[in-house]
């Protein structure tokens, strides 16, 4: 019953056309492409936050080249994709690299009907 559901949950379900789940993760990214989020056309929202002190490069292709893609500058830079605004890009597989060393990135996926899976 929608009247007993929290307002935000009700709003998101109306936007997505049904129930949703959230999957939160911190991924370690190195110099070779690291898969942050697999191809998933039930994913309705994706946010990636750079938690480190080096620039992180994002790209929806595994054959990416560091520095050629979407750059997340240091400490808190982020990318957010939604189905409404970004169409199929939100469902694409997303990869990340850094020029040297490793950095951590926070990944939030909001999926319709999908069960939360631990990675």
Burial group, residue 114, by CB count within 10 angstroms (0-12, 13-18, 19+): middle
Domains and CATH numbers, the chain: 20-112 (2.60.120.770)
- pLDDT tens, 10-64? 988 888 888 889 999 999 999 999 999 999 999 999 999 999 999 999 999 877 7
Backbone angles phi, psi at 14, to 5 degrees: -65, -40
The model's pTM is 0.86
The residue among 64 and 96 whose pLDDT is bigger is: 96
């Amino acid at each position: 019953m929608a009247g007993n559901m929290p307002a935000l949950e009700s709003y998101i379900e109306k936007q997505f056309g049904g129930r949703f789940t959230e999957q939160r993760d911190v991924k370690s990214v190195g110099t070779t492409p690291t898969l942050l989020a697999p191809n998933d056309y039930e994913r309705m929202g994706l946010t990636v936050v750079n938690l480190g002190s080096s620039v992180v490069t994002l790209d929806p292709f595994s054959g990416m080249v560091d520095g050629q893609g979407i750059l997340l500058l240091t400490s808190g830079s982020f990318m957010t994709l939604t189905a409404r605004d970004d169409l199929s890009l939100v469902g694409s597989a997303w990869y990340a690299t850094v020029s040297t060393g490793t950095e951590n990135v926070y990944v939030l996926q909001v999926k319709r009907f999908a069960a939360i899976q631990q990675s």
